[in-house]
Structure 1
Amino acid sequence: MLRVLAVDDEAPALGELLYLLRADPRVHSAEGAGDATEALRRIGRALESGQGGDEGVGGVDGIDGIDVVFLDIHMPGLGGLDLARLLGGFARPPLIVFVTAHEGFAVQAFDLEAVDYLLKPVRRERLAEAVRRVHELVHATAQAPAPEQIPVELGGVTRFVSVDTIAYVEAHGDYARLHTDHGSHLVRIPLSALEERWAARGFVRIHRSHLVALARIDELRLDGGATSVRVGDAELAVSRRHARHLRDLLMRRAP
């Protein structure tokens, strides 16, 4: 079960969030802090007391006694993004879920590897989904890498898409279109940034306009000197610059 710290400078919002969290059967305990300074004091006390034991990330790879911090962004003094950066510097940081009235910080949340990004007023069903994601990550095996999430906008609502569901990415200037198992999403992240970030996850550049998950390539086609790949229903051109490297990667992958 989860040990939760919620941080918000607005007492009514904090009280409502704690009420909903404590009603979730996956939450062992939920404590509140009115600002980042109080949150750091609580985290310090948790470290000193050596809480944690067998449940949750505490004692595995989170701050002892705290599995996840539900964190407001706009607060007096130290803001939520700043606090998340500070926590990220710990040897065993807790997971982060942002809870905010502002939609414009999803990209920063992505950069800080937040598990989720909730908009106020928080709906019970949406909070339950965030708790489910945290619960799965906390109880995953220590060897399994956490699935990276990327924020996308759908009808004014921020959702997080798992990188594991992305087959290929298409460049759109300073934006990129993610082609997933369930549709496509435009995000304000350059293709070059995703190429560098996802190289270790098996994504390879095949053209100045396309980045492809190597495991999703179904066919490699050679036609009159031109090279292309089939990824699901899409056929994508491979530039001469990238063709030889791609063939080498696919040959090494073959049984």
Structure 2
Amino acid sequence: MLRVLVVDDELPAREELAYLLRLDERIGEILTAESGADALRALEREPVDAIFLDIRMPGLTGIELARVLARFTHAPAVVFVTAYDEHAVDAFELEVVDYLLKPVRPERLTDAIRRVVERANGPAARREPADAETIPVELGGVTRFVPRSEVRYVEAHGDYARLHTGDASHLVRASLATLADQWQEAGFVRIHRRLLVALPYVSEVRFDAGRCVVQVGDAELQVSRRHTAQLRELLVRRARPGRGEGR
């Protein structure tokens, strides 16, 4: 069973969340703290499996506390619980387990606990299917969660990355290098220092004047000479999955 810590500067919110957590049989001991500093003191006394953490608190905010926890050798899983949705991008950057909006719905809390359990059981158990991940993006002050399976290609945009889907594009606070590393197993391939493509969306590869170009939806994307050979090999391997590498 999980030992969890609830951190919120408002007593009613702490009590309500603790009550909902007690209803889940996967939850064992529940500790509470009214501030980020109080939470750190509690963690010095005994470790926990997960922290359900408010974001807007006096003193040490939830975002700041999560950054501190990320440096722990054995960091607890972090679930943000907040009334505000504008911090979803920060949550993505910090790789928190889940992001719950107040008032917390029991079914969303159940799902968050499931994610915490999977994380506690190790990487293999907690890995989502390749196309199951969602990315929080902000659009007009509203946070949407875009399925990674809808992302056709990604374009570097300074310290950010722009995700291109079939009908829109979204700016996220993550570098192209980071996404290339994290999304490799989901079929994303680097074709240029500024471009990452999802192989299932590549419909055509051609050579124009000695340069390689891939067609992804309506977009024609240039492949750098450095990445051309690797891309061709991956596409051939994908098209002929039954052939061994030695043939």
Note whether the superposition's TM-score is higher than 0.5. Answer: yes
Looking at structure 1, the residues matched to 17 and 80 of structure 2 have their Cα atoms a distance apart, in angstroms, of: 12
**Does residue 237 in structure 1 map to residue 220 in structure 2?**
yes
Which residue does 1:199 correspond to in 2?
180
> RMSD over aligned Cα, in angstroms?
3.4
State how many pairs are aligned: 227
Specify whether residues 70 and 149 from structure 1 end up closer, same or farther in structure 2 by C-alpha distance, changes over 3 A only.
Answer: farther
Alignment of 1:10-21 (within 5 A): 10-21=10-21
1:105 to 72, 75, 87: 87
Specify whether residues 187 and 19 from structure 1 end up closer, same or farther in structure 2 by C-alpha distance, changes over 3 A only.
Answer: farther
Looking at structure 2, the residues matched to 22 and 159 of structure 1 have their Cα atoms a distance apart, in angstroms, of: 30
Which residue does 1:33 correspond to in 2?
33
Q: Deviations over 1:126-168 (max 9, x none)?
A: 2222222222222234698788763235898746556577442
AA matched with 2:135: I
Specify whether residues 186 and 100 from structure 1 end up closer, same or farther in structure 2 by C-alpha distance, changes over 3 A only.
Answer: farther
Task: Check conservation: 1:117, 1:159, Cα contact below 8 A.
Answer: no
Task: Check conservation: 2:202, 2:214, Cα contact below 8 A.
Answer: yes
Looking at structure 2, the residues matched to 160 and 133 of structure 1 have their Cα atoms a distance apart, in angstroms, of: 17
What's the CA shift for 1:91? 0.9
Specify whether residues 127 and 160 from structure 1 end up closer, same or farther in structure 2 by C-alpha distance, changes over 3 A only.
Answer: farther
What TM-score do you get using the length of structure 1 for normalisation?
Answer: 0.72
Task: Check conservation: 1:206, 1:243, Cα contact below 8 A.
Answer: yes
The 3-state SS of whatever aligns with 1:25 is coil
Percent of aligned pairs sharing the same letter: 46
Looking at structure 2, the residues matched to 113 and 80 of structure 1 have their Cα atoms a distance apart, in angstroms, of: 14
**Does residue 216 in structure 1 map to residue 200 in structure 2?**
yes
Specify whether residues 125 and 155 from structure 1 end up closer, same or farther in structure 2 by C-alpha distance, changes over 3 A only.
Answer: farther
Unaligned runs of 5+ in 1: 47-63
Task: Check conservation: 2:153, 2:197, Cα contact below 8 A.
Answer: yes
Moved more, 114-123 or 217-226: 217-226
Q: Deviations over 1:40-77 (max 9, x none)?
A: 1211111xxxxxxxxxxxxxxxxx4x111110011121
1:135 to 101, 117, 123: 117
Which residue does 1:177 correspond to in 2?
163
The 3-state SS of whatever aligns with 1:136 is helix
Q: Deviations over 1:217-245 (max 9, x none)?
A: 655521544644356xx364232xx3423
The 3-state SS of whatever aligns with 2:25 is coil
Task: Check conservation: 2:86, 2:141, Cα contact below 8 A.
Answer: no
**Does residue 248 in structure 1 map to residue 229 in structure 2?**
yes
What TM-score do you get using the length of structure 2 for normalisation?
Answer: 0.74
Specify whether residues 19 and 109 from structure 1 end up closer, same or farther in structure 2 by C-alpha distance, changes over 3 A only.
Answer: same
The 3-state SS of whatever aligns with 2:172 is coil
Alignment of 1:113-152 (within 5 A): 113-141=95-123, 150-152=135-137
Specify whether residues 125 and 154 from structure 1 end up closer, same or farther in structure 2 by C-alpha distance, changes over 3 A only.
Answer: farther
1:88 to 64, 67, 70: 70
Task: Check conservation: 2:213, 2:221, Cα contact below 8 A.
Answer: yes
